[in-house]
Amino acid sequence: MTYKVGVIIGSLRAGSINRMLFEALKPLAAEAGMEFSEIAIRDLPLYNDDVLPNPPAAVVEYKKQLKAADAVLYITPEYNRGVPAPIKNAIDWGSRPMGQAENNGQISTVIGASMGALATSIAQNHLRSSLLFLDNEIMRQPEVYLTIGQGFFTEDGDIANADTKEFLAGWAKAFAAFIESHK
């Protein structure tokens, strides 16, 4: 059984360390029995109730992908000690119309990378608050807070440090087991 995991990446920039992390995690996920595919959020407009009855294609597609996923992985940077706007905006779109939220009750987890020492811990906690409110089954352990600087990735995008890679492989196995036990 391969679980389909939709991955929402909170950074929109091309050189994102969180996107690099997503790419590096794909083979570890595959080994653990998950297929990671991105749920794109960059074309979502800012959330607006007025747009909801006749949503643009990007919103329709986003909601479709949320629904199709067995579980969702949020990979978030931290902006000013909080959740970056694109990821919060995506959660808000998924949560409406009321009673029909695609992201209600989903299996999910949150990880993140930043250049700072706090390594997205504050952003992740903010994000978990919204996901708890949406009644998600959130994998809480192991937590993944990565400070990513020079040398974290090899030139071909792999995780350079063997211990870190082993830890992340263990995290992937734990997430697959969590999905299995909550499906």
What are the residues binding ligand FMN (CB under 6 A)? 11, 13, 16-18, 77-81, 114-116, 118
> Given the complex with ligand FMN, which of 28 and 75 has the nearer CB atom?
75
> Given the complex with ligand FMN, which of 16 and 130 has the nearer CB atom?
16
Running DSSP on this structure, what letter comes out for residue 158? -
C-alpha 168/C-alpha 5 separation (Å) is 16
Q: Is the dihedral of CA 139, 142, 147, 150 positive or negative?
A: negative
Give the shortest CB-113-to-ligand FMN separation in angstroms. Answer: 6
> Given the complex with ligand FMN, which of 104 and 121 has the nearer CB atom?
121
C-alpha 176/C-alpha 29 separation (Å) is 8
Q: What is the DSSP string of 118-175?
A: TTTHHHHHHHHHHHHHTT-EE--SS--EEE--TTSB-TTS-BS-HHHHHHHHHHHHHH
> Given the complex with ligand FMN, which of 33 and 116 has the nearer CB atom?
116
Give the shortest CB-60-to-ligand FMN separation in angstroms. Answer: 26
C-alpha 59/C-alpha 124 separation (Å) is 24
Give the shortest CB-123-to-ligand FMN separation in angstroms. Answer: 7
- Please name the helix (run of DSSP H) or strand (run of DSSP E) that holds residue 110, with its range, or none: strand 107-114
> Given the complex with ligand FMN, which of 115 and 132 has the nearer CB atom?
115
Give the shortest CB-86-to-ligand FMN separation in angstroms. Answer: 10
